[in-house]
Amino acid sequence: MQAKFIAFDLETTGLSPKTDQIIEFGAIKFTVEKKNGMMVPKILGEFESLVNPNMMIPPQATRVNNITDDMVANAPTVAKVLRQFTAFCGQDTFWVAHNADFDANFLRAAYKNNPQFLPTSPIFDSLKIARTLMSASSYRLGELAKTLKFQNQISLDLDSAELHRALYDCEVLAEVFVALLRRRLKDSDFGMASFLPAILKIQPEPIYLHK
C-alpha cells in the first residue's frame, strides 16, 4: 500500500497568527504511482474553501492572493471549515507544506481558538527538503517548480497567475514534493510502512500541531 499525503496551503490576512486570520484553505490528498519510469503524484481528492475572517482584509494581503472582502463576506467561519478540513485529511496521511512553520502556526491558532479534534499527522516542509536536496537561486515554490519543469521533473503546466491561490499552490506543491523526494528515495520508500523512516533521513524533525 502506497503512503497517502496531504499537500496544504493557507491564505491569510497577514503574517501573524496572533492578529491575522485564515481566509482560504486549500488541500490535495494524493498518493504516488509510476508513470514513464518514475513516481509521480496521483490525486485522490481536493479541498478548497474561503473563510470569513470577521475582519477587513488588508490591501497588501489582497495584492498577494487576490482575495477581497466581497469574496469572503458569505464564506463559512473558520470553525466550520476547520472541521471539514480535518475530516478531509483523515488520520492516515502525511502532510506537507512549503514553509510549513507559517501554515502550522496559523493552524495551531485556529485549532486552539476553535477546540476540536487535533490531527497528529507529521508535517514535512518542502522548503527545508529543497534546501537539503538541491541548489537553487530561489526556493520559492513557483521558482522551484519552474526549475524542475525545465529539468523535465514535473509535468504540470505552470500558471503564474494562479500562484498564491491555495488550491493551485497545492497542485504545484504535490508535484514539487514528489520530484524532490525522487532525488533521494527509492520507489519502495513510498510505501505506507516505509515512508516515514525514509523521509526522516532527509527532514529528521517534522512539525506536529500539538507541539
Separation between Cα atoms, residue 7 and residue 18, nearest integer Å: 24
Give the least confident one: 3-12, 32-41, 50-59, 155-164: 155-164
Reported as type and span, the H/E element at residue 200 is: none
The grid coordinates listed for 159 are 500558471
SS3 137: coil
Nearest to 20 by CA among 84, 113, 98: 113
Q: What confidence score (pLDDT) does residue 161 get? A: 62
Q: What is the pTM of this model?
A: 0.95
Pairing of strands 123-125, 38-50: unpaired
- HSE at residue 85, side-chain half, CA atoms within 13 A, is 29
DSSP secondary structure of 161-179: GGTTSHHHHHHHHHHHHHH
Span 170-191, pLDDT tens digits: 999 999 999 999 999 999 999 9
Q: Tell me the percentage of the chain whose pLDDT exceeds 70.
A: 98
Separation between Cα atoms, residue 60 and residue 180, nearest integer Å: 32
The grid coordinates listed for 76 are 463559512
| Sheet strand arrangement including 94-97 | 38-50, 22-35, 5-12, 94-97, 123-125
The grid coordinates listed for 37 are 519510469
Write down the domain spans for the chain: 5-199
The pLDDT mean for the chain works out to: 95
Separation between Cα atoms, residue 96 and residue 16, nearest integer Å: 20
Span 86-128, pLDDT tens digits: 999 999 999 999 999 999 999 999 999 999 999 999 999 999 9
pLDDT surpassing 70 at residue 162? no
- Domain 5-199, second-level architecture: 2-Layer Sandwich (3.30)
Decide if 109 contacts 78 (C-beta within 8 A).
no
pLDDT surpassing 80 at residue 211? no
Terminus-to-terminus CA distance in the chain, angstroms? 29
